[in-house]
Amino acid sequence: MSRKRSCSMQILIAVFISCSLSIGFAANSTDILYEIYPFIRVYKNGTIYRFIGTQRVPPSFDPTTGVISKDIQISPKFSIPARVYLPKNTAHKLPLLVYFHGGGFFTESAFSPTYHKHLNSLVAKANVIAVSVEYRLAPEYPLPIAYEDSWLALNWVVSHFKGNRHEEWLNNYADFGRVYLGGDSAGANIVHNMAMRVGLESPEYPVKLSGIFLNCPYFTGKNPIGNENGNAYGRSSVANIWLHAYPNSSGLDDPLVNPGMDLKLSKLGCERVLIFVAGKDFLRDRGLFYKEALSKSGWSGNANVVENKGEDHVFNLVHPTSPKAIRMLKTLASFLNHAKF
**Annotated catalytic residue, options 62, 149, 281, 285:** 281
**Annotated catalytic residue, options 185, 210, 244, 262:** 185
Cα–Cα dist 332/122, whole Å:
8
Nearest partner of 324 among 278, 280, 275, judged by Cα: 278
**341 CB neighbour count, 10 Å cutoff:** 9
Cα–Cα dist 207/21, whole Å:
53
Interacting residues of 161 by C-beta distance below 8 A, sequence separation 6+: 176, 206, 207
Active site residue 116: no
What is the DSSP code string of 264-299? TGGG-SBSEEEEEEETT-TTHHHHHHHHHHHHHHT-
CA angle (292, 298, 299) in 5-degree steps? 80
Residues paired with residue 133 on neighbouring β-strands, in sequence order: 82, 100
- Sheet of 94-100: strand order equals 68-75, 80-86, 129-133, 94-100, 174-184, 209-215, 272-278, 302-308
Active site residue 313: yes
- Sheet of 48-50: strand order equals 32-36, 40-43, 48-50
Active site residue 166: no
Q: Which sequence positions are flagged as catalytic? A: 185, 281, 313
